[in-house]
Amino acid sequence: MASHGSVFGAMLQEFEGAARILNLDPGLWKMLTHPKRQIIVSCPIQMDNGEIEVFTGYRVQYNITLGPAKGGIRFHPDVSLDEVTALAAWMTWKCAVAQLPFGGGKGGIICDPTRMSRRELEALTRRYTAEIVDLIGPEKDIPAPDVNTNEQVMAWFMDTYSMHVGHTSTAVVTGKPVEMGGSLGRREATGRGVMITTREAARHLGFDLQGATVSVQGFGNVGSVAAALLAQLGAKVVAVTDWKGGVYNAAGLDIPALLDYTQQHRSVDGFPHAEALDRPAIFGLDVDVFVPAALENQITVENADQIKAKLIVEGANGPTTPDAHALLHKRGVFVVPDILANAGGVTTSYFEWVQDRHGYFWNEAEVNEKLEAKMVQAFAAVLETAERYKIDMRTAAYIVAINRVATVTKMRGMYA
């Protein structure tokens, strides 16, 4: 199937490559390429000016064979059912790669949170939660933060759900504030997972991260933590870009100082002790490792040839288009795919859900130790598959994931 320019089409293209190698049964193929549930809701909100606005929200439960659906909620003007469905499918494969007892889901509301007040955002979150309340729950579907949603949004979500069911239910969402059942280490978990998979990949490729050069696109939750932890391992993070600009220092950027600067100025742009870098220049830098940690569709056929890094670790979801990925693979660039590289976030979300259900909380060292074990295991399973079939890591990750979901689908059998 061609991608037809849609995000879900791109997911299908990736799925197909793996399903063909697996010689996947045609019935399973059909089942695994259709979302189980797509929910569309209208959320009327009284805005601060007294007028009523109606916002469209989505929740997609792509597959729940391995357990309850799991995946974030995005607030963005460009949210579409196509995008939410693709993201829900990627969550399905990501949870399966990390061997979590979860299926895949995702939600989104078409809105521009930068133009909404805190009260309006709270009203929208609560109304959206109420509209989907029968379909979510700790055993059904467990949302989390995504683009433009945060711990506060999760707190409102959890409170609204709890009011509807009549008791406090912490395990209905992850990414909550630690004070109300969130997990220590959750905030850093995705970046930590990126660091762990970068380290494992470098070891496999036979180069030392000590002194290796790294560039990072995006300096938000994922990019900044990955940069800080890679620098702690001795890597030289020489370049960082964000929505506004970029910075470069051949001797390595001072990441803690850059973080402080970004907190004050909302961007890395203008950071002293570094040269300014044009945002697109991030692709052509002569570095060992490139970490795209910003948005979808950043590495395209237009810039893939400029990339000199021998290792790309996808912190973001879907940062490389399928055609660009094919070019990189042909050139021998080792790509750690998103569904493996950024699985640290959902893995620690799983730990949060486990802790909430037990009502017993672990210290941060325990969380990080368990995350380390899960990520190392997932990386090894995907690498072993890539070597066995002589294929790239993305196709291998899909093979691992599809195999796990397909095996359980067959065991559970057909209902009807």
Could you list the active site residues?
Answer: 106
Candidates 36, 37, 279, 370; binder of ligand NAD (CB under 6 A) is 279
According to the binding rule CB under 6 A, does residue 353 interact with ligand NAD? no
Q: How far is the CB of 295 from ligand NAD (least distance, A)?
A: 5
The side-by-side arrangement of strands in the sheet containing 236-241 is 275-276, 246-248, 236-241, 213-217, 289-292, 311-313, 334-336
CB closer to ligand NAD, 31 vs 281? 281
User: Binding to ligand NAD by residue 217, rule CB under 6 A?
Assistant: yes
- 320 vs 342, which CB is nearer to ligand NAD? 342
CA distance 340 to 289: 16
Residues 170, 141, 317, 205, Cα dihedral to 10°? 80
Q: Which element (helix H / strand E) includes 386?
A: helix 364-389
The CB-of-389 to ligand NAD minimum distance in angstroms stands at 26
Dihedral angle at the C-alpha atoms of 371, 377, 383, 385, nearest 10 degrees? -130
Which one of residues 317, 320, 355, 395 is an interface residue with ligand NAD (CB under 6 A)? 317
- Report d(CA 43, CA 40) in Å as an integer: 10
| 136-165: contacts with ligand NAD (CB under 6 A) | 146
Considering the rule CB under 6 A, would residue 294 count as an interface residue with ligand NAD? yes
What angle (nearest 5°) sits at the alpha carbon of residue 181, between those of residues 170 and 99?
Answer: 80
Q: Is 243 in the site for ligand NAD (CB under 6 A)?
A: yes
> At closest approach, how far in Å is the CB of 320 from ligand NAD?
12
Residues 219-238 interacting with ligand NAD (rule: CB under 6 A): 219-223
Q: Which stretch binds ligand NAD (CB under 6 A): 127-135, 248-256, 292-300, 377-385?
A: 292-300
To which residue do tokens 């973080």 refer?
259
Tokens 């560039």 — which residue? 215
Smaller CB distance to ligand NAD: residue 68 or 185? 185
H helix or E strand, kind and range, residue 156: helix 151-165
- The yes or no reply on residue 367 touching ligand NAD (CB under 6 A) is no
Report the b/e string of 58-86 with b at 16+ CB within 10 A.
bbbbbbbbbbbbbbbbbbbeebbbbbbbb
- Options 14, 83, 242, 269; binder of ligand NAD; rule CB under 6 A: 242
Q: Which residues bind ligand NAD (CB under 6 A)?
A: 146, 190, 217-223, 241-243, 279, 293-295, 315-317, 342, 345
